């Protein structure tokens, strides 16, 4: 993590601490392989798809409720850090639902505590971040998600 990005995170946390109704600008980026992620600035080799202003602070946090769904017959589950209106988040959610994997979804929009938790876990506020077993996956990459599920002990019923 660069020094300027660390300074940005610290400044963001201070601003939110002293101003309960704040916001940050996040951009949606797509790389050459079609993987999408949300970041402060698109990295080299990726293109800007969309921009979003995300509110932070206590009022928005009070309305923020975690989303959980469970359709699984498997002991494997996943946790995803996300925000609303996030197409890569939607893609991860849809894949896990189709594969009948329990998902604990953590919406970080407007919740400075969950944003700090994600920053500590990942070093940034990029979403989606999906945890499956001991794997931490950024963005949406179907192959990586399926590989992490298999490594965590999930067996695809279609492969039997």
Q: How many domains does the chain have?
A: 1
Q: Rg of the Cα trace of the chain?
A: 16
Residue 119 lies in a domain: yes
- Confidence (pTM): 0.59
The predicted structure's pLDDT at residue 24: 63
CATH number at residue 42: 3.40.30.10
Q: What is the distance between the alpha carbons of residues 25 and 122, in angstroms, rounded to a whole number? A: 18
Length of the chain: 160
Residue 24 lies in a domain: yes
**Mean pLDDT value of segment 114-133:** 94
Kindly indicate the confidence band of residue 114, based on its pLDDT and cuts at 50, 70 and 90. very high
Residue 42 lies in a domain: yes
Residue 52 lies in a domain: yes
**Mean pLDDT value of segment 27-48:** 77
**DSSP secondary structure letters along 61-97:** HHH---EEE---SSS-EEEEEE-SS-HHHHHHHHHHH
Kindly indicate the confidence band of residue 117, based on its pLDDT and cuts at 50, 70 and 90. very high
**Mean pLDDT value of segment 110-130:** 93
Q: pLDDT tens-digit profile of 71-99?
A: 445 689 999 999 998 999 999 999 999 99
Residue 97 lies in a domain: yes
Residue 160 lies in a domain: no
H or E segment and range at residue 55: strand 47-56
Residue 46 lies in a domain: yes
Answer whether residue 109 shows pLDDT above 70.
Answer: yes
Beta-carbon count within 10 A of 21 CB:
12
Residue 110 lies in a domain: yes
Strands 22-30 and 36-39: antiparallel
Q: Which domain holds residue 57?
A: 3-155
Residue of higher predicted confidence among 160 and 34? 34
């Amino acid at each position: 993590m660069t020094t300027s990005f660390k300074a940005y995170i610290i400044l963001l946390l201070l601003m939110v601490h002293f101003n309960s109704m704040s916001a940050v600008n996040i951009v949606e980026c797509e790389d050459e392989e079609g993987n999408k992620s949300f970041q402060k600035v698109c990295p080299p080799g990726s293109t800007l798809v969309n921009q979003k202003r995300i509110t932070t602070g206590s009022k928005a946090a009070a309305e923020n409720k975690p989303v959980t769904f469970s359709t699984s017959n498997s002991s494997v589950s996943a946790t995803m850090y996300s925000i609303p209106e996030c197409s890569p988040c939607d893609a991860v959610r849809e894949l896990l639902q189709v594969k009948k994997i329990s998902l604990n979804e953590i919406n970080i929009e407007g919740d400075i505590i969950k944003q700090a938790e994600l920053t500590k876990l990942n070093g940034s506020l990029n979403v989606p971040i999906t945890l499956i077993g001991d794997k931490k996956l950024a963005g949406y990459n179907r192959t990586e998600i399926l590989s992490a599920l298999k490594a965590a002990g999930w067996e695809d019923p279609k492969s039997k």
